[in-house]
Structure 1
Amino acid sequence: MFAPTPDRFATRDQLLSMSGLAFVEAILDGELPPPPIAKLLNYHLTEVGSGRVVFAGTPMVDHCNPMGTVHGGWYGTLLDSCMACAVMTGVPQGSFYTTLEYKVNLVRGIPLGTEIMAEGRVQHSGRSTGVAEGWIRGAVDGKLYATGSTTCLIMAG
């Protein structure tokens, strides 16, 4: 079984000692490690603000389905990451979130090697839930590739 190590994840104490916004900013600034899945799927955090998060990424051959196109899970993971992290920016110190559900709409296929931006924006941030929307666009041309929505559960630590 995989055991988290301090160099791969923030500790629970680190997570609960700061607001959600400060936590996501610490990942952006390199003070806390990014999630390991970001390396595996070739994306990284580029912008963080209150209620808004942006990731940049580029799908590669390793992210393809058997038909040779970008797997829908790649789109879903990028959208889940940007939307849920946007919700995290509104989570108070001592709390954290988990995704309850998310929906993805693929608009068109992303050509391999195309850099994209995945942006998440909060629509509602409450005591127990957060709702956000997101989209994936081409970094150069702004072409829309996918949209999404999420509901996250906010929990006290």
Structure 2
Amino acid sequence: MSGLDAVRAAARSGDAGGLPFTARFGIEITGAEFGRVTAAAVPLPEHCGYPGQAHGGYVSTLCDAVCALAAWSVLAAGTTVATARLDLSFLKPVPVDQKVLCRGSLRGREGRRLHCEAELSGPDGEVLARAAALMIVQELPPEAAGTAGGAVDRKGEAK
């Protein structure tokens, strides 16, 4: 299964790309095209840094996951990506208990290096954060080949 097929399957199943920690953050893939992924999430009070504001680590995780999924969507079966660099600009506080949207896209490729970006917007469409990421393509180990990008289920076992 190609990366795009796997991301689309994850969107249909609601399993947030098969990444166990993303389920804890309530990340839901809402759209996937070649090189582009959109996800929605509702930061909860347990995701706060300050009362009423999502913690920077939550925002970072959301942007990183969407960049990785956008990169993964252009890959062939048997490969995945790992984040080598994530640069994040926090523009406005991210509210809790309100849906936010994060759009990730592939901006360029140099061999195994995929350059991606993400934009996080609030319920009113205002941009709250922007990220730029460098993803590195990796071959999956033979035991993970044929799985959805080597994703694991919530028990940590290969799907």
TM range (shorter): 0.7 to 0.9
Q: TM-score, normalised by structure 2?
A: 0.80
Map of 2:112 onto structure 1: 128
* 2:96 is aligned with 1:112: yes
SS at match of 2:54: coil
Distance 1:52 1:101 in 2: 19
Percent sequence identity is 23
Distance 1:155 1:72 in 2: 27
SS at match of 1:29: helix
- Alignment gaps of 5+ in structure 1: 1-17
Distance 1:147 1:31 in 2: 24
Q: CA deviation at 1:39?
A: 2.4
Q: CA deviation at 1:91?
A: 1.1
Map of 2:4 onto structure 1: 21
Relative distance call for 1:24 and 1:126 in structure 2 (3 A) is: farther
Q: CA deviation at 1:34?
A: 3.3
1:39 to 8, 23, 26: 23
Q: CA deviation at 1:31?
A: 8.8
Question: Is this contact kept in 1: 2:14–2:29, CA < 8 A?
Answer: no
User: For residues 41-95 of structure 1, what are the alpha-carbon distances to aligned partners after superposition, in whole Å with 9 as ceiling and x for unaligned?
Assistant: 1221110100100110111100012x32311001100000111110111112221
Map of 2:42 onto structure 1: 58
1:89 to 69, 73, 76: 73
2:85 to 101, 114, 120: 101
- Which runs of structure 1 show a deviation greater than 3 angstroms over 4 or more consecutive aligned residues? 31-34
Distance 1:30 1:116 in 2: 20
- Alignment gaps of 5+ in structure 2: 141-159
* 2:126 is aligned with 1:143: yes
Q: TM-score, normalised by structure 1?
A: 0.81
User: For residues 76-125 of structure 1, what are the alpha-carbon distances to aligned partners after superposition, in whole Å with 9 as ceiling and x for unaligned?
Assistant: 00000111110111112221111111111110102221211000010013
Distance 2:60 2:94 in 1: 13
SS at match of 2:30: strand
